[in-house]
């Protein structure tokens, strides 16, 4: 009599596991289709092949983040999700004498992306260069802490 209960229980567990895996796999496939735009505009000051040239050429920049990619050091002075803010920042840095390149790059850290949207609100309302630079100081520090130091 005990054996008659064990077989249906084992079959139920196997069917439940199979159905759960099927639903989970479908959920993961749909998640990728409905993702938000996870890109941001990075304002790049330059690309350097050595750390020494990086230090020498960016010593005047108060706020920056350097990222090592493919053996080169990329220096960013601003990050925003808003194209108007990117243009605003680019203009500010060019008036200060820097050549700035705008790049659109993906970001996978959702916490940073949510914070970036809030920083963009502050950046939009900023009127002076000092206000914009103080917002960028916080944005770059947040990027360094939450994205680069993962």
- Taking only the tens place, the pLDDT of each residue in 24-83 is 777 665 554 445 568 899 999 999 999 899 888 888 888 889 998 889 999 999 999 999
Q: Which domain holds residue 31?
A: 1-35
Check if the beta carbon of residue 86 is closer than 8 Å to that of residue 43: yes
**Same domain assignment for residues 121 and 100:** yes
**Same domain assignment for residues 11 and 44:** no
pLDDT of residue 33: 47
pLDDT tens digits for range 79-136: 999 999 999 999 999 998 889 999 999 988 888 888 899 999 999 998 898 999 899 9
Residue 107, phi then psi, degrees to nearest 5: -130, 130
**Same domain assignment for residues 63 and 25:** no
**Same domain assignment for residues 102 and 59:** yes
**Same domain assignment for residues 84 and 144:** yes
Buried/exposed 125-142: b ≥16 CB within 10 Å, e otherwise: ebeeeeebbebbeebbeb
Domain count, the chain: 2
**Same domain assignment for residues 132 and 92:** yes
DSSP 92-133: HHHHTT---EEEEEE---HHHHHHHHHHHHHHHH--SHHHHH
């Amino acid at each position: 009599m005990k054996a008659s209960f064990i077989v249906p229980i084992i079959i139920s567990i196997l069917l439940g596991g199979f159905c759960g895996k099927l639903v989970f796999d479908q959920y993961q496939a749909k998640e990728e289709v409905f993702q938000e735009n996870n890109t941001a505009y990075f304002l790049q000051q330059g690309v350097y092949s050595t750390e020494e040239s990086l230090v020498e050429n960016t010593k005047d920049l108060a706020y920056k983040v350097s990222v090592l990619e493919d053996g080169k050091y990329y220096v960013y002075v601003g990050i925003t999700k808003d194209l108007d803010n990117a243009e605003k920042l680019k203009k500010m840095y060019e008036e200060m004498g820097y050549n700035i390149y705008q790049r659109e790059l993906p970001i996978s850290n959702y916490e940073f992306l949510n914070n970036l949207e809030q920083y963009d609100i502050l950046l939009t309302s900023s009127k002076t260069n000092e206000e914009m630079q103080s917002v960028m100081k916080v944005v770059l520090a947040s990027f360094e802490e939450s994205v680069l130091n993962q």
